[in-house]
Amino acid sequence: MKKLPVFLSLLASTLVFASCEKEIEEIKDPAQEVAAAATTVQSKPALLAAGPWHLTSLTLATATSGTDATPAVDLFPRMKAAQRDNLHLFQTGGAYTLDEAAVKAYPEAPQQLSGTWTLAGDSLTVTQSEVTRHYAVQELTSTTLRIKLTQASDQGTSTYTSVFSR
């Protein structure tokens, strides 16, 4: 009978140690982490050329000389369906294509218009037949492209902010 408490305490301690499970944490080699991060990060031109973009938002803010900028106006709902479904393709090598997609403004209009593009830092330049536009790239991820076009005139400055998605 005197051995029963010793036996029970020995049994209890064995069960306690058996129920503890060691967590093994794998320590990664820092060189492997850097290599993995380098393979997943794409350059900005590669992100831009990874696939077609379609417009999801267009806003306009204007400022006349001597006054503050007016609040941005959402132009996207006012656009025609033929403009909202267009696809913008930035191909590797600098070729740019504007595809009219399913809805065309005019049946006789060409399905695609071509041009060129360059990206230097956060400045995107798109050139088509007689038009060259310089955009400031505000955001460029694998799913979002946000660009700003600023145009100055005698009446003031107009700033268009376009958001594209994949």
Can you say whether residue 81 is alpha, beta or left, with left for phi > 0 and alpha for psi between -120 and 50 degrees? alpha
**Residue 88 pLDDT > 90, yes or no?**
yes
Question: By CB neighbour count within 10 A (0-12 exposed, 13-18 middle, 19+ buried), where does 153 fall?
Answer: exposed
Residue of 107, 102, 114 lying closest to 54 (CA atoms): 102
State if pTM tops 0.95.
no
Q: pLDDT at position 113, please? A: 93
Burial of 59 (0-12, 13-18, 19+ CB in 10 A): middle
Structure tokens at 135: 């955009």
Which domains occur in the chain, in start order? 3-40 (no CATH), 44-165 (2.40.128.280)
Whole-number pLDDT of residue 74: 95
**pLDDT tens digits, residue range 17-56?**
555 555 666 666 666 665 555 556 789 999 999 999 999 9
